[in-house]
Amino acid sequence: MSYPEPLYHAETGEVSGTLRPGGSEPELRIGGPDGTHVRYLATGATTGGLFGLYRWDMGPGPSGPGAHFHRTMAESFYVLSGTIRLYDGARWAEGTAGDFLHIPPGGVHAFRNESGEPASMLLHFAPGAPREAYFEELAEIAATGRTLTPEEWTELYLRHDQYMV
């Protein structure tokens, strides 16, 4: 394996970094104050499509998607705190701080917080797809109590490269 083609072509470096303080408020709350809080650390838009990175802080209630896969992106999970059940397509494992799971495009996966305690992890998508719209739609559905038909769920998932299994 070799390095990819250069993305930056100037002779000298530039000042272009961004710092997000750790105490920044989450951009999104799914399921109320004790639900999931999402921090958009680096979106596909801010990384030029290279990757997306999100901090996913889950409350004590059960949460997380069912088994699914993506066709356009890889997804990785890094557990920061608590216990998060991670599914690699073959088996469930109890993920705790420091555990990491990488899923290539097409890999079946899922995650759940069923511990009864808060848990946090980083979600990484590569390349950087516009996942914020998907997360925001889920938040709106939870906030309004709207009930989707199976056909509406399928359409929502297809728009966001999420194929349930």
Q: What is the pTM of this model?
A: 0.94
- What DSSP element (H or E) covers 155? helix 150-159
Q: Around Cβ 2, how many Cβ atoms within 10 Å?
A: 4
Cα distance between residue 52 and residue 6, in whole Å? 20
Question: For the chain, what are the domain ranges?
Answer: 28-164
SS3 111: strand
Please provide the CATH number assigned to the domain covering 28-164.
2.60.120.10
Distance of CA 92 to the CA centre of its chain: 18
Digitized pLDDT (tens) for each residue of the chain, 165 residues in all? 999 999 999 999 999 999 999 999 999 999 988 999 999 999 999 999 999 999 999 999 999 999 999 999 999 999 999 999 999 999 999 999 999 999 999 999 999 999 999 999 999 999 999 999 999 999 999 999 999 999 999 999 999 999 999
